[in-house]
Structure 1
Amino acid sequence: MNDNLKILILEDNQYDADLIQRELKKSGFRFTSEIVQTRESYESALDSFKPDIILSDYSLPSFDGVAAFRIKQKISPDIPFIIVSGTIGEENVVELLKQGATDYVFKDLGRLALAIRRALEEVAQQRERKRAEEALQNSREDIYRLLNSIAEGAYGMDTNGNCTFVNRAFLEILGYQNEHEVLGKHTHDLIQHSYYDGSPYPASECRMYRAYQDKQLINVSDEVFWRKDGVAIPVEYRSHPIVKDGAVIGSIATFIDITERKLAEQELIRSKEKAEESDRLKSAFLANMSHEIRTPMNGILGFANLLKEPNLTGKQQQQYIKIIEKSGVRMLNIINNIVDISKIEAGLTEVNLKESNINEQIEYIYTFFKPEVEQKGMQLFFKKSLASKEAVIKTDREKLYAILTNLVKNAIKYTNEGSIEFGYHLKADSKPAELAFFVKDTGIGIPKDRQQAIFDRFIQADISDKMAYQGAGLGLSITKAYVEMLGGKIWVESEKENLPANRQVKAGGATFYFTIPYNIESEEKIVVENVFSVDEAENHVNSESSGLKVLIAEDDMPSEMLITIMLKMFTKEVLKVVNGVEAVEACRNNPDINLILMDIQMPEMNGYEATRQIRQFNKDVVIIAQTAFALEGDKEKAIEAGCNDYISKPILKDGLLALIQKYFNKEIIN
């Protein structure tokens, strides 16, 4: 500290200046000095000489020690400044020391060396302290930059739980504008005061506070923080206690908003539950479907086998045939339901709006189901509320028919005594106006806890109930989908209580309601075509089409045999092929073929491609597509390929005769 000092001496008396230098050498200092007397030389030396310490006389010719000190403070405030004078008054010494002078020494110089050493030590300490403070400040700035660069919210607390710092992410996540809204406030009261449901969350129960008091690091992901706007957000946070000399002096916490994660977890749980429910329903459905398919198959195959008995009477044969036919119809209903729900699930079902007289549909359904209801010893009623002209609306006729048919069939199935009533009324006060339909029965009713579930796929009122009835559990699901496609809604009301443990069922009845828009606008008129009865169609075809030459393209032998038998009575010749390639070749070799019944799904070449190739050389032959797929859009695909028409399997005699009559009712072929 005593080596190579640069000492600036402000003294107008050369003798006194020399005296000061001798004293310094005597005290062991090694130094370089510069002596100045005027303000100008003093200011210049401060800039060029850059002294380590200034020794100044108080009384100078042009200015005094006070002025010299003030000049130094402006230029180099850190340089020690010691007054060395014998003329300074005590009050001046006090004033200079107040302003920041390092020390003063009277001109006996006895304590000059001590004053210089103390001044230099103080400066060294100040500079070291300043460097440490700057380093600390830089470190703090680095830490704050680091904290502000992370996506996690971060904040500190003292032992009282008051906030000591926050980072930018804290403010952004919790909706604060600046740190002054948070600093010094109790963080628990600010952001953790309540549970998610709004009930109080005492600080004494808070895991964060308990953990830092116990000097533990914790990780929590099942609590919420409250934003400034009063919204609770789920968070995951980690809390680190700050320990000094074995005592906790505070804590640091970091957290993230896990709203998206929680939503994803909830969606995953819902998906898992939905998948499990779907698996359960499908298992129940498959078990039920196995029963539903095997039961009619038992009737078909069993009574078909009995028909082989040689000693059957004609009455027995007719009875067995009716059972086979009834079982076949039941099997077809099951298949149709599966096809319908598949089309709905795949989004392949379209709505075709046309004019329809709902009174006629109500009357038709009444006429159709009346014998079946009366056969069970019950009564069937219907109710209309509009005149015939007002009952003509624009809707999808087939879907409305399917809805009413499904609901009435359900009512018949689940009702063994009493009556069934169905109908509609106009809800003119609705905006827009709508028709409200109902189907009411006095049957077994539906428990309240099942009244929503019955509209789900594969569900009956209780699919596992020992009293479960016939059916795949798809009818109401299809019905609900059709109602919604038409722009309405469906619901059920029933007085039946939830099934008790002993599962005894009491009749309570059920009423199904559904609505559709009352749309009376129309752009087209209803066209009623001349329709033959089945017997008339058969006679018409027999008389006018008995000379047809027909090609049957079918790879399934029973289907081919069935069509051949149906056509035999009014055709002069029937050709048979089993694939599309043979169909094209047969048509090429027999240009006089009048009609082709073209199966769509055949080996080697399908019916679509065979039709396209035939149309390249024969534009006139009538081609009717036949398929077991029967999905919506199949008919359009067949027409696009070049077919004249389309018929779905199973093919019944009346439907086939109607199609033949459509294309050959004016042609007589010898």
Structure 2
Amino acid sequence: MARFRKKIFPKQKGSITRETLVKMGVRIALVILGSTALSYLHLMSILETQTIQQLDKYIVERGQRESNIFTLAEDNHAILKQEIKRRLEEWEDYDPQLEFDQKFVPFKDGVIRNQPEGFDRSRQAGVYIGKTVELTPEIRRRVLTFYDLVTSSGMAWQSRFQNTYINTPENIGIMYWPEVPWAENTTSDLYIPNENSFWMTDSQHNPTHQTVCTGVYYDQIARNWMISCGTPVDIAGKQVATIGHDIVLNELLERTLQDRLPGTYNLIFRSDGRLIAHPDKMDEIKKNQGKLDIFQSEDPHLIRIFQLVKNLKLGKVVVENTQDKEYLALAKLETPDWYFVTVFPKSILAEVALNNARFVLILGGVSLLIEIIILLSVLRHQVSEPLGQLMVATEQISTGDFNIHLDTTRPDELGQLATSFNTMVAEVQAREVRLKQAQIELQKTDKLKDEFLGNTSHELRTPLNGIIGIAESLIDGTTGQLSSATMANLRMIASSGRRLANLVNDILDFSKLKHKTLELQLKSVGLREVVEVVINLIQPLINQKKLQINNRILLTLPAVMADENRLQQIFYNLIGNAIKFTDSGKIEILAQVISHAGLQQIQITVSDTGIGIPEDKLESIFESFEQADGSTARIYGGTGLGLAITQQLIELQGGKIWVESILNEGSKFHFTLPISWDSEISYSNVSVFSLRDNIPATLVLSSDLPVYSEPSFTRVEELVVEEMLSTVRPEKSQKYKILVVDDEPVNRQVLVNHLSLYQYEITEAASGQEALNLLNQGWKPDLMLLDVMMPRMTGYEVTRKVRERWQPNELPIVLLTAKNQVSDLVIGLQAGANDYVTKPITKDELIARIKTHCTQAATFLENTRLYLELQASEAREREKALQLEQSLQDLKTMQLQMVQSEKMASIGQLVAGVAHEINNPISFVLGNLSYAETAIHDLIQLIILYQNNHPETVPEIVRQIEKIDLSYLIEDLPKLMGSLKMGTERIRQISISLRTFSRGDTDQKVEFNLHEGIDSTLMILKHRLKGNSQRPEITIIKDYGDLLPINCYPGPLNQVFLNLLANAIDVLDDVTEKISYQNHQSRPPKISIRTELSQDEQWAIIRIKDNGMGMKEDVKQKIFEHLFTTKPVGKGTGIGLSISRQIVVEKHGGKLSCFSSYGEGSEFIIEIPTI
């Protein structure tokens, strides 16, 4: 049918409508493409001219914008420089020593810095005067002048500049930088004239005395990219100072990288080639501390940009980079000596021009489409529709639908074609009916043949089983010792029966292959292992021949994707043939990886040194029932099916087979198989030759082992099975009970003969119902041998009935069947059978299977008992493990508590010692200050009395009075003594608080004033209560009730106060990260502390409340749990509140509770018993 349709209706290669439309479309499309190209070129020229003009204007404005900050710095320096000169001229003959000494004092490292008392960085400039500076009147005048100007100017310019500073060549630095305590932290080894920000302004490096700037650097203190700009101050031709600003470049760099024209990018570099900003190299610039040189970057594109910019003629701001197809627009930032460059790729212009050309092209395309649609409408109606109807009719006929009739009324060629088509359809329909009828008859015949083969197989196997079984049992001595001649005849009977069984198997395999009903189980298989198994099995065939079989397959060879059983069958046939046709010499099995058409496979070679094959027979050697010549079958035996089956098995698994041979020298059989890329190789549970289809069995040894080769082997089965089962024969002393169920007496007798040799207790049943009756009477065998094909009740039905009562591991069932079809075996296993043996039965295989299943059943019962004992043991061990885990957790908790207690005790001892050491000298100083205050008061009164009575005195005394400013001293000394007394008293109070907080009397309870403990804790935490730039000062509201001293442990209780108050401060500090400073002003942070007695006066109650964010319910539930914390790693251990609760509850018998609502703060309540 397919050839007929292809001949009459060849595949359509062209279309009248399509060819016409294509030709018209091509002509119109060429016109559209030409106009589009011209439009693109014209627009590109216009865009280039406009872009250059716009870039020129843009870069000039951008350069002015980016230079503003540097211009502002230069203007600031000029103003400050002029003011410095004016003030120094006014103070030319003045020595402000007194004012200098009041504001600046020497420190222990020899450096002179700001007077710490009253110094505020937000309102005053920091001063650093090196330890080697000689303080002359001129130096003091300069320092005070610079200090005043930097303070006032720095505050005014703070919004635009990071800081303002003035440095001098004498190693003096004055800087207003409110965020950084630079003067306090700067060490005494700093020498300012060696700093880059100073020496870049001296005459040697800045002969023009203009404002100059450093390179870009990353300031670790400010954590920003910065540049320092400085201007020298010269008086009388000598540099006396450098005025400078540190300028933060973050905004400038961000504008450079982000604020750009669409599709372009900006970069900045210095005239010496140092790269300042580049969108792709900011990480590299930071890594090199702002000193990345363009030539060292090895970026050819960047180097070309630098060279073009440096070589650009004066007054020109736009240059074309022809090599990289881009425009460069540049602006010079004079003060820092920078170049600001905008890179404008030409691809932007090309895209705009292309979009315009695309519009022209689309417009032309739409026009073309309209024209084609009009033409298509005409062609479709006149040509396409009639032809389409004919094509649909053809497709319907190809699917077998002949119910169609074309319209033949048209008078033209298409009408005549329709008439011919209708005639052809009628003829094809009649032929199709005849073919279907013939196919049905063939299918019926094929089904009858399959049934005949199956039934023949079954009918042949049953008598063969009896013949072979009886003969073998007689050989084994069932009826006693026989003569040697009788034994020889019995062996010939058994061997002939097995040859007939093998022939039946070959015919059945050939039938399956022919009808493609053979099923394969493909998996990863190792070649060397399979060959080893086959060689071991086939050793008995060598007999007296002087043959050497070599397995030369490497272990490193990849696995193949194949059916393991069928692969054994292939090797068995090929190696068996080699042994049969080789009397002496060697047989080798080789394998290698080959590649063909990009596909890798394994090629296996089986070579021998035998008789060889004539060249004219090489082509037909793989045909069915074919041998080299008729004498081969007579001399060596065989049916001629072995190689035919081998070839089809290899081809089914994706390979091919061929042969090379030289007559009288030997043969080489080559075949290929696909490589398996799986990481694991699958093998049978026991490496025994198995040819079953899809049946999982632990041990598969069958008496119907086919001879898959040309010869018919005489005692192969007996020798192979006897060798492989020598280690698995059952002990004769074992007394297993076997139930034999078969409707054929001969078959039962065969089984009884075989089993009686091993002293099994045998019970016979002639039907399935009889077997079930025995079981229902309470008798249970160790194993059942069950025939499948029995009248009234099959073996499958018996198996299902048995499985309703016993599981496979409790009562094994081995099916006995003359059928070896896959479907029959699968049904048996699905019904609940443990195993199967096909007829004719091999005695050793049968005995091995019986022993295996009986042993497995006994092992199953023992394993069940051991499993139950193991489960109970595991339960006990798990309980012990849980107890050990809980004990370990308790030990960890106890260890943490002990460490914390020891730590607090050590801190308490240290604080107590420090407080004691401070208290003695402070008490001494405080005691002497009272006497000193009285003495100074008397001395001042005496001086005033002297001045009143002796207004005129000697000039020397007058000069000294002026020098020390006696009137100022008389006025300031009482204030100074008051400050000293107040400060000393504060130190004494801190010392008392430390001693109160660190009381170490924890062994027993003592009377203790809780208010003193709270006050001492607040004194220790006072530095954390102060305000800062992030939040205002935390207000402490104390509402103390009338509490008498109570018996408690003061040290641990103070620790509780410290934990709760410190946590409250942490909470208020965390709020600063979530709300602004202004919101803090509207809701100032505060901590309320309230104490009171309970109504029954049995409890002292302390309430500590904050107005922070509070806690959510899930956090509040876990707040006192051990190691629970909401703080980041490194800021909290999670044991503070846990230990506090233990101190209050366990140590004092009190209560510690928490009340909190999210967004409304938290309150902790401590209740301590007063008795």
TM-score, normalization: structure 1? 0.49
Q: Structure 2 length as normaliser, TM-score?
A: 0.29
Which protein is richer in helix relative to its size?
Answer: 2
Greater relative contact order (Cα 8 A, min sep 6): structure 1 or 2? 1
Give the structure with higher Rg (CA).
Answer: 2
